[in-house]
Amino acid sequence: MFLIVGLGNPEKKYEKNFHNLGFLAAGDCAAALGVKFSKKECEASVAVGYVGGEKILIARPVTYMNASGRAVLQLVKKYKTEPSRLVVIYDDYDLPKGHVRIRPGGSAGTHNGMRSVIAELGFSDFARIRIGIRDEQQQIPLIQYVLSDIRKEDYELFASACNRAAEAALALARGESIDCVMGRYNG
């Protein structure tokens, strides 16, 4: 089984925020597999699909962003997910807006949701797909920025980035090497 987790905040008022790009990309994963988020388990909304006969679990934690690690840990324990079979998708202020970057591991950077995931899991050697949100023209505090809505003029850019992130996650779930996926989608 392969586990794909998109990070975000659960309430409707956060739906169009930069901080919910992980949720949007997870939704694109589910749509590509023709499945819906139809059940709740382990503090997450979950969709289950299959790729080449293999079960793919797509999750959106229903905790707030800063406590995302609780849901991820519960799912990893329940499904005995190996680090090599886990991918987390999230927004990243350290990357320019619309850029997608895949890495096989690393630190949380400035992202509190990833900080929670790494702290709860106790390891950081799992794939992560980051969607860049930094806009040099926006000069507001980081916390206000990540919780602000995506501007209409940028919607297509971010929709495309989420779709690329979903494609990359599903490529990893199909068994493609991280090096191959990084070569195709980073940038």
Residues with catalytic roles: 19
- How many residues are recorded in the chain? 187
- Cα–Cα–Cα angle for 18, 20, 23, nearest 5°? 145
CA–CA dist 82, 44 (Å, integer): 19
Measured CA to CA, the distance from residue 132 to residue 152 in angstroms comes to: 17
CA distance 129 to 103: 7
